[in-house]
Homo-oligomer: A and B are copies of this chain.
Amino acid sequence: MDAQIKRGLLDILVLAAIKTEDSYGYKIIKDIKPYLTLSESTLYPILRRLEEGGFLTVNSQEHNGRLRKYYHITDKGMEKLNAFAEEWKEVMAIYDYVVREVDAA
């Protein structure tokens, strides 16, 4: 997929990935992979930004002798997810405009 388009969806995809149950870096990448491939160097800065923005909290837990950081969505994160559904209407309006112009060929 075009690199540009997916960038706007990264934050929201990551939030969606931890919505149902807390998750951690490596798992998030695997869960999202069918929809969009992202590397660790892309994900971890996003997680840090989302934490700084108050959209999620971090909770380190030991797993098999190693530390694992579990990410938990906050109320603010939930609001962001819900707001996304609203924003989508504007995105679809743009899509309709573009396709209309294409069909006008």
**Cα of A9 to Cα of B84 in the assembled complex, Å:** 16
**Cα of A4 to Cα of B20 in the assembled complex, Å:** 24
Query: Total interface residues on A, using CB and 8 Å?
Result: 38
Q: Is the interface of A mostly helix, strand, loop or mixed?
A: helix
A-B contact pairs, 13 of them (CB 8 A): A1-B90, A4-B11, A5-B9, A6-B8, A6-B94, A7-B8, A12-B98, A13-B98, A16-B101, A19-B105, A81-B102, A85-B99, A88-B95
Interface of A with B (CB < 8 Å)? 1-2, 4-13, 16-17, 19-20, 35-36, 78, 81-85, 87-88, 90-91, 93-95, 97-99, 101-102, 104-105
